[in-house]
């Protein structure tokens, strides 16, 4: 099975290099592509200097669009699965083969690396938000997702096609809910994650609340409209 | 009766709008196809100012307290619709820019590989 790791990178000079090195060392069989989403820092130079496989978007277009570029790359190069992989070092490469194996064995369309299934407690506001999204997905799609906000998700070739061609398909929990409702098989595997290894997160308190509100509304709206 | 000041305002607004739209078209700052909306709107303003009877009879037929209430409401509804259609247009443009950006990056990558 040909697996591609899509690494969206926007101003990730602080940890991109370490992340890619770790990925290559741990999973030599897994291909990767960095999507440099119009970064203004040294991200592009790092890709060039180190000879990494990366595509450079000339302007910043946002995570959804950057990820779509990665999905188009996966589709055009005939990959069987693509995994969403953070550039900041939060995700551990050792779980990629486990996810790929589950995807193949269960015939799943989406495999989520779940921190909850491995016994990790997602506490605080983040945990509450995660539980609300879980509940919404259970209500609208009748599927139990323990860790909907996990950013490490693997998609089958059917989902790759969908991402590469559709007008509005974000690598976010609302897409998981929609896919589950449309009959795509969504499963989870236990996984650990690390703290961000450098650089800055865009998720502060205000953004987090906005993100939650948007995600919840989007799940409800797409339940009625799509 | 539509108050005189409102009629004067309507005509002034229509003339100003027409002048502005005309200048932008001349300076190639707006496509003629997009300017049509504003020209038609200005024409309706002039029509209403010259023949207030239209607004008055429509307002009373629909049960408004006064004709000006009706004119204001009609304009607000029209503008809301315009803002929404702009929002939809921006969505489409955003999606096109994103597609182009992705395609440029992908074909550049393909070229570099060869």
Q: Determine the distance in angstroms separating the CA of B108 from the nearest CA of chain A, rounded to an integer.
A: 8
Question: In the numeric block, which tokens belong to residue A148?
Answer: 């909907």
Are the C-beta atoms of residues A215 and A133 closer than 8 Å to each other?
yes
> How far is residue B30's CA from residue B99's CA, in Å, rounded to a whole number?
24
Give pLDDT, residue A226: 78
**Chain A residues closer than 8 Å to B104 by CB:** 57-58
| pLDDT band of B1, cuts 50, 70, 90 | low
Q: Mark out chain A residues that contact chain B at CB-CB < 8 A.
A: 35, 38, 54-59, 61-62, 65, 68-69, 72-73, 76, 167
> How far is residue A133's CA from residue A220's CA, in Å, rounded to a whole number?
10
Are the C-beta atoms of residues A83 and A153 closer than 8 Å to each other?
yes
* Contact: B106, A73; criterion CB under 8 Å: yes
Pick from A51, A47, A58, A30: nearest CA to A87? A47
Per-domain residue ranges for chain B? 4-113
> How far is residue A31's CA from residue A6's CA, in Å, rounded to a whole number?
9
Span B36-93, pLDDT tens digits: 998 898 888 888 888 888 888 999 999 998 888 998 999 999 999 999 999 999 999 9
Sequence-distant (≥ 6) Cβ neighbours of residue A79 within 8 angstroms: A2, A3, A4, A31, A157, A160
Q: Where are the beta strands (DSSP E) in chain A?
A: 3-9, 31-37, 54-57, 81-84, 110-114, 153-156, 186-190
Residue located via tokens 């993100």: A211
Find which of B94, B102, B107 to mutate to test the A interface (most A CBs within 10 Å of its CB).
Answer: B102
Residue A133: how many other CB atoms lie within 10 Å: 23
Find which of A34, A56, A74, A165 to mutate to test the B interface (most B CBs within 10 Å of its CB).
Answer: A56
**Chain B residues closer than 8 Å to A73 by CB:** 106, 109
> How far is residue B14's CA from residue B26's CA, in Å, rounded to a whole number?
18
> How far is residue A56's CA from residue A38's CA, in Å, rounded to a whole number?
7
- Considering only alpha carbons, which residue of chain B is nearest residue A54? B109
Give pLDDT, residue B2: 63
**Chain B residues closer than 8 Å to A38 by CB:** 101
One CATH from 3.90.550.10, 3.40.50.300, 3.30.360.10, 3.30.830.10 for A3-225? 3.90.550.10
Give pLDDT, residue B114: 81
Identify which of A57, A62, A76 has the shortest CB distance to residue B105.
A57
Q: What is the pTM of this model?
A: 0.88
Residue located via tokens 């495999």: A111
- Considering only alpha carbons, which residue of chain B is nearest residue A64? B98
Asked if B105 reaches chain A (Cβ–Cβ under 8 Å), the answer is yes
Give pLDDT, residue A200: 64
Burial A142-180 (b: 16+ CB within 10 A, else e): ebebbbbbbbbbbbbbebbebbbeeeebbbbbbbbbbbb
Instruction: Encode chain A (226 residues) as per-residue pLDDT tens digits.
Output: 999 999 999 999 999 999 999 999 999 999 999 999 999 999 999 999 999 999 999 999 999 999 999 999 999 999 999 999 999 999 999 999 999 999 999 999 999 999 999 988 877 777 888 999 999 999 999 999 999 999 999 999 999 999 999 999 999 999 999 999 999 999 999 999 988 776 666 667 788 888 899 999 999 998 888 7
Per-domain residue ranges for chain A? 3-225
* Contact: B95, A167; criterion CB under 8 Å: yes
Are the C-beta atoms of residues A2 and A31 closer than 8 Å to each other?
yes
Give pLDDT, residue B43: 86
Question: In the numeric block, which tokens belong to residue A194?
Answer: 């690390």
Question: What is the torsion angle, in degrees rounded to the nearest 10, for the CA atoms of residue A57, residue A59, residue A60 and residue A66?
Answer: -20
Span A153-210, pLDDT tens digits: 999 999 999 999 999 999 999 999 999 999 999 999 999 998 877 666 666 778 888 8
Helix (H, G, I), strand (E, B) or coil at B37: helix
Lowest mean pLDDT among B2-11, B18-27, B102-111: B2-11
The continuous run of DSSP H or E covering A69 comes out as helix A63-76
Give pLDDT, residue B42: 84
Give pLDDT, residue A201: 66
């Amino acid at each position: 099975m040909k697996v591609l790791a899509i690494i969206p990178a926007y101003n990730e000079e602080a940890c991109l290099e370490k992340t890619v090195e770790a990925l290559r060392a741990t999973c030599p069989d897994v291909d990767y592509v960095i999507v440099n989403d119009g970064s203004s820092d040294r991200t592009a130079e790092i890709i060039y200097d180190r000879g990494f496989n990366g595509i450079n978007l000339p302007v910043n277009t946002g995570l959804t669009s950057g990820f779509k570029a990665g999905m188009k790359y996966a589709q055009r190069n005939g990959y069987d699965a693509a995994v969403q992989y953070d550039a900041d070092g939060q995700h551990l490469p050792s779980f990629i083969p486990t996810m790929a194996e589950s995807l193949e064995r269960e015939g799943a369309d989406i495999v989520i690396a779940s921190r909850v299934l491995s016994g990790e407690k997602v506490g605080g506001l983040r945990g509450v938000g995660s539980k609300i999204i879980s509940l919404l997905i259970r209500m609208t799609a009748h599927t139990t997702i323990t860790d909907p906000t996990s950013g490490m998700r693997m998609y089958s070739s059917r989902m790759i096609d969908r991402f590469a061609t559709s007008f509005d398909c974000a690598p976010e929990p609302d897409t998981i809910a929609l896919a589950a409702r449309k009959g795509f098989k969504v499963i989870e595997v236990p996984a650990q994650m690390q703290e961000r290894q450098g650089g800055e997160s865009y998720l502060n308190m205000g953004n987090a609340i906005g993100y939650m509100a948007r995600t919840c509304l989007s799940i409800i709206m797409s339940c009625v409209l799509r | 009766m539509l108050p005189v000041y409102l009629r004067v305002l309507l005509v002034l607004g229509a003339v100003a709008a027409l002048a502005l739209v005309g200048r932008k078209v001349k300076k190639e700052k707006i496509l003629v196809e997009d300017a049509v909306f504003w020209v038609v709107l200005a024409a309706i303003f002039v029509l209403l100012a010259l023949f207030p009877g239209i607004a008055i009879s429509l307002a009373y037929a629909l049960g408004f307290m006064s004709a000006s209430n009706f004119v204001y409401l009609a304009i607000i509804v029209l503008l809301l619709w315009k803002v929404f259609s702009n929002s939809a247009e921006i969505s489409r443009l955003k999606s096109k820019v994103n597609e182009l950006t992705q395609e440029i990056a992908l074909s550049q990558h393909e070229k570099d590989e060869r």
